[in-house]
Structure formats: structure tokens, C-alpha cells
Structure 1
Amino acid sequence: MFELREVSRVFGRKAAVDSVSFAVPSGQMVGVIGRSGAGKSTLMRMLNRLTDPTSGSIVFDGLEVSALRGSALRRWHRDCAMIFQQFNLVPRLDVLTNVMLGRLNYRSTTMSVLGLFTREERIMAIAALERLGIEQTALQPAGTLSGGQQQRVAIARALMQQPKVLLADEPIASLDPMNAKIVMDALRDINEREGITVITNLHTLDTARAYCQRIIGMAGGRVVFDGTPADLTTEAVNRIYGADGAIDETMTSTSINPVPAYKPAAAGALMPAVN
């Protein structure tokens, strides 16, 4: 269980996140939606402790994440993997090395500085790339890959952390529809096969409806909607986005074709490997 209790983050006189409370059961895939400036990214950074809450508490499985310091905080950064919109890869390093960097929090400082990785870690990294359908890029510099490929490398790196929670901050914002689908398919596959809790910020309503079991809508730093895709009515959408009339969702659609609301995949189903 991931639980937020009256969590706020204030910058100067502005509350980017204002008294937010909700709980996420283990293994759920949650989409957080809202306008730019609604507080989505700040919320995500507090969950990962890249930003500290001004007040309130964040608890995961009985551990007060918001109070962690030192080595305990480093372990949380390992257990709570983060995927960013900008990928955050090292462009000059090859893809395989970028993926293995996900093991840094498991290793000694000396081995990390020298860049020494074990045979087992290399096998893990190749397996992660194969799972995401980009094993053929292993020896290429990461900077030579397309945006969609780089985001899949970032997901493979996150898998190397063997996390308990996977956070994705606008993971498809800069991708074309085909690559957006590949990345979201990968996140759902991880959620369903490993049972890892996935929380992702999204700009597009069709994506949230199609992939997430639960949707949280934010406006002005507060949660103004919390429900299933079926509960996300026109009235709820207008409340989230502050619109007076119906929003044409096709204007921000990332779908190649219309997609249905979230429906669990069959047990053991594998994600297709798409280059």
C-alpha cells in the first residue's frame, strides 16, 4: 500500500500540491491527469523523494518514505524507480551500459566508479533489452537512438533496479503515436506480469482510459477526481481541466486507432517485441 496523508508542497507562497491524500493498493496501475501546472510532476517527485514534502507524510508498506535519510533514502530510490520524459540517459555510453547503471544502488562505490559490472548484471541487462524488443541496439551509443527507443532503454534501466514501485513522469509526452503505444504497452506488461505498482502522469485522456485501472485527476494542486475510467464522465473531465463545455478528447489523442478502456490482459500474455 502506498499512502499519502495530507501531503503538501509549497514554493514561496504557492502550493504546488495542496493537502493531497489517497492510497494506492499494491499492484495497481494509476494514471494521474490534469492541466500543466496542476501539481502532477511535483507529486511524482515527492513520491520518489526527489522533492521533499513541506507537510504531510508519505508511507509505503508501513515505511514512512517522507522521513527517510541517508542509506535508507538511497534504498528507497532503488525500490521506487523513476522514468522521466527526457529519458535521462548518458548519450555517449552504449545502451547496455546505460541499462546496467540501474544497478548502482546495489553496488559498492568503488565498483560504480570503475564501471565494473558482473556477468550476471550483463545477462540481466540483455534480458531487459530483449523484453523491450531493442536488444539489437545494445552496443550503440544511447544518443544515436530514436526517442521511442531511448524511452524503452530507460524502462529497461528501471527494471534493473528490481523496484517495488515504478513511477513514470510524462513518459510519452515527446513520442509519436506508435512509440507512445509501445511504451505504454511495456508499462502495462510490467504491471501485470510482475505485479509492480505503476503510477504515471499523462496528458492524454484516451491513454489514461485505455491503460489505467484507476485515474486520479488534479487541478490547482488538489485531487478533484479519483475513480475508474468508466467514472471519468464529461462532467468530471470539465472539473479537472476547468472547462465550461465538453472537451474534444481527440485533439490530444495518442491512439493510432480507438482503444477500449482498461481490461486486464490474459495471465502470462507477453508484450510483442516491436522495433
Structure 2
Amino acid sequence: MFRLKNVTRRFGERVAVDNVTFDIPQGQMVGVIGRSGAGKSTMLRMINRLADPSEGTIHFNDIEVSSLRGSALRNWQRDCAMIFQQFNLVPRLDVLTNVMLGRLNHRSTILSLLSIFSNDERIMAIAALERLGIEQTALQPAGTLSGGQQQRVAIARALMQNPKMLLADEPIASLDPLNAKIVMDALRDINEREGITVVTNLHTLDTARAYCERIIGMSGGRVVFDGPSRELDAEAVRTIYGTGSDGAEIDERVTSTAIRNPARQDNEPDNDKESASPTPLALAGL
């Protein structure tokens, strides 16, 4: 069980997150929605402890996450992996090394500084890339990949942490509809196969409904909706987003990520993949 209790975050006089309380059982996939500035990203950063609460507590089972320091905090950030909108890869490093960086909190500082990775870690990284369908990019510099490919590399790196919880901060905000679907499919697969709790901030209501069993809506730093996706009706949307400047209802089509013709035959090429690639086992030196 994961729990936020009366969590508040202030930046000077501004309250970014205001007295938020909720529980998340292990294995849920939760979408957090709301206008820009509603407090979604700040809340995720507090969960991962990239930001500290001004008030309140954060617990994971019997661990008070909000009070962790030193090695205990690093262990939590290993167990609570974070995926960012801007990927946070090292562009000049190859994809395989970027993925293996997810093992940094599992190894000694000296080995990490020397970038010495074991064959087992290389095999783990290749398996993660294969799972996400981008193993053929393993030797490319990460900066040469498309946005959708880079986000999948970031997910593979998160998997290398063996996390208990996965946070995704607007993971599809900069992606086209096809790549957005690929990334969300990957997050749902991780949630369903590993039973890992996934909490993701989303701007798109159709995506939240399609992928998340539970939706938390935020407005002005507060939670104003918390329920199953089927209950995200027009009234709930109005509570979360309010109305336009002219008083009209929010048009959900503006946020849609729907693909007009999502079906693709198995023999159609995947334009998001490079054609030339070494074999995965060769990359591991086997």
C-alpha cells in the first residue's frame, strides 16, 4: 500500500499541492489529470522525493518515504522509478549503456564510475530493449533516436531498476499518436505482467480512460476527483477543468490522442525502427 496523507508543497507564497490524501493499493494503474499548473508534476516529484513535502507524510508499506535520507533515500528512488517527458537520456552514450545506467543504485560506486557492467546486466538491458521492440537500436547514440524510441529507452532503463513502483510524468506529451499508443501499451504491459504500481500524469482524457483503472483529477493543487475511469463523465471533467473563457464546456477532442486508422497488418514495415541491426546476443559479447 502506498499513501499520501495531508501532503502540501509550497514554493514561497504559492501552494502547488494542497493537503492531498489518498491511498494506492499495490498493482494499480493510476492516471493523474488536470490543467497545467494543477500540481500533478510536483506531486509525482514528491513521491519520488525529488521534492520534499512542506507538510504531511508519504508512506510505502511501513516505510515513511518523506523522512528518508542518505542511502535509504537512494534505495527508495531505485524502487520508485521515474520516467520523464523529456526522456533524460545521455544523448552521446549508446542506447545499451543508457539502459544499463538503471543499475547504478544496485552496484558499487567505483564500478559505476568506471562504467563496468557485467554480462548479466548487458543481457538484462537487451531483454528490456527487446520487450519494448527497440533492441536493434542498442549501439546507436541515444540522441539519434526518434522521440518515441527515446521514451521506450527511458522505460527500459526504469525496468533495469527492478522497481516496486513506476512514475511517469507526461510520458506521451511530446509524442505523435502512434508512439503515444506504443508507450502507453508498454506501461500497461508492465503493470499487468509484473504487478508494478504505475502512476502517470496525462493531459489526454481518452488515454486516461483507456489505460488507467483509476483516475485522480487535480485542480489548484487539490484532488477534486478520485474514482474509476468509467466515472470520468462530463460533470467530473467540468469539476477538474472548469470551463473555457467563454463559459463553454471543455471540448475533449482537443486533448484526443486517437489514431484514425490504428490497425496495421503484421507485414507492414515499422517506420520507427532502423533497418540495420546487430544481434542482441552479439551486443552482450556472447
Query: TM-score with structure 1 length normalisation?
Result: 0.93
Please tell me whether residue 241 in structure 1 is matched to residue 241 in structure 2: yes
State the distance in 2 between where 1:75 and 1:258 align: 43
> Where does residue 253 of structure 2 map in the other structure?
250
Larger deviation: 241-250 or 162-171?
A: 241-250
Q: Alignment partner of 1:93: what SS?
A: coil
Please tell me whether residue 176 in structure 1 is matched to residue 176 in structure 2: yes
Q: Alignment partner of 1:96: what SS?
A: helix
Q: Alignment partner of 2:191: what SS?
A: helix
AA paired with 2:84? F
State the distance in 1 between where 2:210 and 2:260 align: 11
> Where does residue 42 of structure 2 map in the other structure?
42
Asked if the contact 1:238–1:245 (Cα under 8 Å) also holds between the matched residues in 2, the reply is: no
Distance 1:251-1:81 versus aligned 2 partners, 3 A rule: same
State the distance in 1 between where 2:66 and 2:238 align: 32
Aligned runs of 1:137-216 on 2, under 5 Å? 137-216=137-216
> Where does residue 105 of structure 1 map in the other structure?
105
Asked if the contact 2:59–2:65 (Cα under 8 Å) also holds between the matched residues in 1, the reply is: yes
Asked if the contact 1:96–1:139 (Cα under 8 Å) also holds between the matched residues in 2, the reply is: yes
Q: Alignment partner of 1:20: what SS?
A: strand
Larger deviation: 243-252 or 126-135?
A: 243-252
State the distance in 1 between where 2:260 and 2:192 align: 23
- RMSD, aligned α-carbons: 1.3
Q: What does the per-residue CA deviation read over 1:214-259, in whole Å, with 9 as the maximum and x for residues that have no partner? A: 0000000000000111111111101101214432211111110499
The total of aligned residue pairs comes to 262
Asked if the contact 1:98–1:142 (Cα under 8 Å) also holds between the matched residues in 2, the reply is: yes
Compute the displacement of 1:210 (Å): 0.3
**Structure whose alpha-carbon radius of gyration is higher:** 2
Aligned runs of 1:24-173 on 2, under 5 Å? 24-173=24-173
State the distance in 2 between where 1:119 and 1:216 align: 41
State the distance in 1 between where 2:258 and 2:151 align: 18
Runs of 4+ more than 6 Å apart: none
Q: Alignment partner of 2:30: what SS?
A: strand
Distance 1:26-1:258 versus aligned 2 partners, 3 A rule: farther
Structure 2: 5+ residue stretches without partners:
263-269, 274-286
> Where does residue 226 of structure 1 map in the other structure?
226
State the distance in 2 between where 1:199 and 1:162 align: 16
Q: What does the per-residue CA deviation read over 1:23-77, in whole Å, with 9 as the maximum and x for residues that have no partner? A: 0000000000000000000000000000000000000011100000000000001
Asked if the contact 2:3–2:58 (Cα under 8 Å) also holds between the matched residues in 1, the reply is: yes
State the distance in 2 between where 1:128 and 1:255 align: 27
State the distance in 2 between where 1:135 and 1:220 align: 42
Q: What does the per-residue CA deviation read over 1:152-188, in whole Å, with 9 as the maximum and x for residues that have no partner? A: 0000000000000000000000000000000000000
State the distance in 1 between where 2:187 and 2:248 align: 33
State the distance in 1 between where 2:260 and 2:222 align: 32
AA paired with 2:21? S
**Matched-pair identity in %:** 76
Q: Alignment partner of 2:4: what SS?
A: strand
